[in-house]
C-alpha cells in the first residue's frame, strides 16, 4: 500500500492535528491535488515551467576533484539543485503549489520562511502567476537575512515579521497557520517542506520527487546502474525526501539523512530532531520533535538557517522507525569544513545546509568501498551564506 494512508498517516506519524476551521480546507486541497495530479493540462503546465523557467533537469555532476581529495576510490556525483532558478530546490515545490492554488481559484498566497529561501521561491512563483503573496518570517530571521527580505519585496511580496515565541521559523509557521485559519476561503498556504498536516507532506514530497526521478535516469545513463549511497541534509526534509523517494523500493540503495548537530548534540543548540528528539505533535503532524519533558517545544539551532527547525517531516520519522533511512548529525564546525572543501575542490560554493551532506560524506568516505557510487544532493547555492561564514571564521580566529 502506498503511503500515506487515507487519513494521511505514515505508520503512527503524520495525520491532521489542526483546528477544526482548517479541516474542510485540507479536504478541499487533497481533492484538488488528486484531481490535478491526473490532469494532463496541469501536468503539462508544470513540466513547462520546470523546464523553461526553473531550468530542469539539473545536472548530475561527477565531482572528480572532491573524489580525489577523499581518497580517489569513490564515484561522487552532485545533484545540482543549486543551479535552479532562485538557487535552491525550494522552487520545485512552490511552482507546483502556486499552480495548484491558481487552479483552485485562490487569489492569495501565504508562506512561512526561515532563511528566506522558501519565501523567495514562493514570492517568485506568485509573481510568475500573478497572485498576491504574503510571507511570514521570524523577526530575528528578518534581521539575519535582510537581503532575502529585500529580494521578496522586489518580487512584489509583503514580508511580515513575526515577534511571537522564539521569533524564528517555527513561529513563522504558527503565524502563517493563524493567517490561513482567518483567510482560508481566499488563501492557499504554500508550506515549504514535507511537514504540516496531511496532505502537505505528500504534496511537497511529490513535487520534490523530480529530483530523485531525474537522478535515477541520469545515473543509469552515466553508470548503467543505481547508486550505492544517497546523502542529503534534513531540516524539515524536503530536499532529502525529493531525492530519496523514487529510490525507496530499491533496497540496494543506502540512504542517509544528515541533520544539524549545531554546537553539539550534548548542548541545547542543535536541530537534530530525528537523532535525539522524541515523538510529539506540532504544526498539524505527529512526528519527531525537539521538546522538553513536559512537551513544550524547544528552539532549534544550526549555522545553516534552513535546518533550524525543531520538527521534521512525518515520512522521515516513519523511515527512521522502519530503518529505511539512516539519520545522522553533523555539527556547525564540520559543516563549515564541508563548505570550504567543496568550494576549493570543485569551485562550487554550497548552501550551508547542503554543506552538511558534503561534510558527512567527508567523514565516511574512508569507510566506503572502492568504486562506490555516491550521490550528494546539493540542494542550494551558498551565496546567501557567504557573509555568515565570513563572520563565523572571523569569530573563530578571534577567540
Tell me which residues are annotated as active site.
90, 112, 379
Among 40, 251, 296, 370, binds another protein (CB under 8 A): 296
Told to check if 15 binds another protein by CB under 8 A, we report: yes
Beta carbon nearer to another protein, 171 or 315: 171
The nearest distance, CB 100 to another protein, in angstroms, is 20
Hey, what's the cell of 263?
A: 554546537
Beta carbon nearer to another protein, 181 or 248: 181
Hey, what's the cell of 46?
A: 508544470
Name the segment binding another protein (CB under 8 A); options: 145-153, 207-215, 239-247, 277-285.
277-285
Name the segment binding another protein (CB under 8 A); options: 40-48, 99-107, 219-227, 292-300.
292-300
Name the segment binding another protein (CB under 8 A); options: 16-24, 147-155, 347-355, 389-397.
16-24
Beta carbon nearer to another protein, 96 or 284: 284
Q: Which long-range contacts (CB under 8 A, 24 or more apart) does 244-248 make?
A: 244/212, 244/319, 244/325, 245/205, 245/208, 245/209, 245/212, 246/209, 246/212, 246/213, 246/215, 246/216, 247/212, 247/216, 248/319, 248/324
Backbone angles phi, psi at 112, to 5 degrees: -105, 155
Within residues 181-200, the interface with another protein by CB under 8 A covers: 181-182, 184-185
Among 30, 112, 141, 171, binds another protein (CB under 8 A): 171
Told to check if 268 binds another protein by CB under 8 A, we report: no
- Which residues fall within 8 angstroms of residue 107, CB to CB, at 6 or more apart? 131, 132, 186, 187
Beta carbon nearer to another protein, 20 or 41: 20
Compute the radius of gyration of the chain from its Cα atoms: 20
Binding site for another protein (CB under 8 A): 7, 15-25, 164-165, 170-171, 174, 177-178, 181-182, 184-185, 280-284, 289, 291, 293-297
Amino acid at each position: 500500500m502506498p503511503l500515506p494512508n487515507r487519513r494521511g498517516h505514515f505508520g503512527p506519524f503524520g495525520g491532521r492535528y489542526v483546528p477544526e476551521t482548517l479541516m474542510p480546507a485540507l479536504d478541499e486541497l487533497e481533492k484538488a491535488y488528486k484531481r490535478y495530479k491526473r490532469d494532463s493540462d496541469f501536468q503539462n503546465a508544470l513540466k513547462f515551467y520546470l523546464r523553461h523557467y526553473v531550468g530542469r533537469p539539473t545536472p548530475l555532476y561527477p565531482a572528480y576533484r572532491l573524489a580525489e581529495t577523499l581518497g580517489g576510490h569513490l564515484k561522487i556525483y552532485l545533484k545540482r539543485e543549486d543551479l535552479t532558478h532562485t538557487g535552491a530546490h525550494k522552487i520545485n515545490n512552490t511552482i507546483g503549489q502556486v499552480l495548484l492554488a491558481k487552479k483552485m481559484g485562490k487569489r492569495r498566497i501565504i508562506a512561512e520562511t526561515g532563511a528566506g529561501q522558501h519565501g523567495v521561491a514562493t514570492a517568485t512563483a506568485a509573481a510568475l502567476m500573478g497572485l498576491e503573496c504574503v510571507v511570514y518570517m521570524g523577526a530575528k530571521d528578518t534581521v539575519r537575512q535582510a537581503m532575502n527580505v529585500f529580494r521578496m519585496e522586489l518580487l512584489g511580496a509583503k514580508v511580515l515579521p513575526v515577534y511571537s515565541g522564539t521569533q524564528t521559523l517555527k513561529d513563522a509557521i504558527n503565524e502563517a497557520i493563524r493567517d490561513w485559519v482567518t483567510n482560508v476561503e481566499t488563501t492557499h498556504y504554500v508550506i515549504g517542506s514535507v511537514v504540516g498536516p496531511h496532505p502537505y507532506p505528500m504534496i511537497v514530497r511529490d513535487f520534490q520527487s523530480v529530483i530523485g526521478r531525474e537522478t535515477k535516469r541520469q545515473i543509469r545513463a552515466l553508470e548503467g546502474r543505481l547508486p550505492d549511497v544517497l546523502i542529503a541534509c534534513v531540516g524539515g526534509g524536503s530536499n532529502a525526501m525529493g531525492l530519496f523517494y523514487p529510490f525507496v523500493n530499491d533496497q540496494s540503495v543506502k540512504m542517509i539523512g544528515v541533520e544539524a548537530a549545531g554546537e553539539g548534540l550534548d548542548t541545547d543548540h542543535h536541530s537534530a530532531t530525528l537523532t535525539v528528539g522524541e515523538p510529539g505533535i506540532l504544526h498539524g503532524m505527529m512526528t519527531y520533535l525537539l521538546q522538553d519533558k513536559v512537551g513544550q517545544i524547544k528552539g532549534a539551532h544550526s549555522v545553516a538557517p534552513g535546518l533550524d527547525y525543531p520538527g521534521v517531516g512525518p515520512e522521515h520519522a516513519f523511515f527512521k522507525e522502519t530503518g529505511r533511512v539512516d539519520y545522522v548529525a553533523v555539527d556547525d564546525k564540520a559543516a563549515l569544513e564541508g563548505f570550504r572543501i567543496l568550494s576549493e575542490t570543485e569551485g562550487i560554493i554550497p548552501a550551508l545546509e547542503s554543506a552538511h551532506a558534503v561534510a558527512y560524506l567527508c567523514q565516511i568516505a574512508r569507510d566506503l568501498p572502492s568504486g562506490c557510487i555516491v550521490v550528494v544532493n546539493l540542494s542550494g547555492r551558498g551565496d546567501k551564506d557567504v557573509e555568515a561564514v565570513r563572520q563565523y571564521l572571523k569569530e573563530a580566529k578571534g577567540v
